[in-house]
Amino acid sequence: MRPADESLVRSADGELHGPLEPVSARGDETSPAAARTAEPRSWRDVLSRQEIRELVEIRDWRAWLSIAADWGLIGAAFALVAVWPNPLSVAAAILVIGSRQLGLAILMHDGAHRALLESRALNDWVANWLCAYPVWNDVHPYRHYHLQHHAKTWTDEDPDLELANPFPITRASLTRKIWRDLSGQTGWKRFRAILNRDLGRSRGRVRRDFGAGLQALHGVVVTNAVLLGLLAASGHAALYLLWVAAWFTTYSLVMRIRSIAEHAMVPDVADEMKNTRTTLARWWERLLIAPNRVNFHLEHHLLMTVPHYNLPRLHRMLRARGVLEDACLTEGYWGVLALAASKPA
């Protein structure tokens, strides 16, 4: 096992730091015990070198477990409809599959930070072929885009700024957005945008080279053909429609909820502890809305190469040492949506 790539250990302000040092300008080390007895200057003062080393350590078996869990839940959703075909089971399957499509995108996100698997080559291959391509994504352009978001959070150069800026909105406006997601309108819009991107027809920030776009499109076609083939071999080819329906509907919804939760309606865009949100998710929210610990987004921005399975530990450490007392934390996704819809009509 090795720590994640040193060049990608980055604080929320975009500075690069080695993973074996606290993300701090100090040359000495403050022990966690000492930090708890004094007023900490920042989260950097309460983590030791050894703790950071352990937090960014990549454990391949744990990544494979997450990949297997996502695909296992997807398989279970298919099986549910196969053995009990009715409107209720179909709706439940589409909800679960959409959430796990987000789960695969989150694992691709770990791959973009080179925090999925120890081998760099295998990291990118698995992130694409088992996680990104099936949901029509690609780790390589995403990496460039996403690292700019980390380096330029809440600046004019932040590519995700438009996702957070519109909020809060009225309840009626949020209801319309959710309806567009669940009715497939958002998914259809995304489909056309991604297709144009991969065919080299897009302009501006999302523009891609035609050859690179076709390569990604090839991966999407191959992985989806394999999924369809496996379902056909089981005698249930029609179940593939659940995958498509989820991509167009519930996947759109959980992506929207995730993007709102991470940066919208934050207390202070200039404060790294208050410009990114961690949502304290319940078990069913982790199952259906926030897979693979994506709810710990504040912790991810503080140490962005911590693999997803270590983010809860980082949260517990920072909370126990008093660093998160004034941080941007929200209880549950219902609380996030209530904030998002808090603008008076």
Helix or strand run (H / E) with residue 17: none
Closest by CA to 127, choosing from 154, 151, 106, is 106
For residues 291 and 170, the answer to whether their CB atoms sit within 8 Å is: no
Q: Which residue has tokens 């997450």?
A: 66
State pLDDT tens for residues 141-155.
899 889 999 999 999
Over residues 271-286, the pLDDT tens digits come to 999 999 999 999 999 9
Q: Determine, yes or no, domain membership for 327.
A: yes
Is 210 within a domain?
yes
Number of domains in the chain: 1
Average pLDDT estimate for 215-230:
93
- For residue 288, is it within any domain? yes
Q: Which stretches of the chain are DSSP H helices?
A: 32-37, 49-55, 60-83, 87-112, 120-126, 139-151, 161-164, 171-182, 185-198, 210-233, 240-248, 250-263, 283-288, 297-302, 311-320, 332-340
Does the residue 149 lie in any domain? yes
Is residue 69 included in any domain, yes or no?
A: yes
Residue 271 lies in a domain: yes
Average pLDDT over residues 164-184: 96
Q: Output the pLDDT for position 188.
A: 97
DSSP string, 228-287: HHHHHHTT-GGGHHHHHHHHHTHHHHHHHHHHHHHHTT-S-TT-TTTSS-EEE--HHHHH
Instruction: Tell me the average pLDDT across 183-195.
Output: 95
Q: Is 51 exposed, middle or buried (0-12, 13-18, 19+ CB in 10 A)?
A: middle
Residue 16 is given by DSSP the state B
Name the pLDDT band for 213 (thresholds 50, 70, 90): low
Q: How far apart are CA 199 and CA 84, in angstroms?
A: 40
| Residue 125 falls inside a structural domain | yes
Q: Give residue-wise pLDDT tens across range 1-59.
A: 544 443 334 333 333 344 334 333 333 334 455 444 455 568 989 999 999 999 999 99
Q: SS3 for 331?
A: strand
Tell me the per-residue pLDDT of 53-84, one tens digit each, with 9 for 90 and over.
999 999 999 999 999 999 999 999 999 999 99
Instruction: Determine the Cα–Cα distance for residues 310 and 178; give it in Å rounded to an integer.
Output: 31
Residue 85: the pLDDT is: 97
**Coil, helix or strand at residue 140:** helix
Domain with 59, as residue range(s), is 55-340
In angstroms, the CA 321 to CA 341 distance is 33
Mean pLDDT estimate for the chain: 88
Domain for residue 28, yes or no?
Answer: no
Averaged pLDDT for residues 90-118: 98
d(CA 345, CA 330): 23
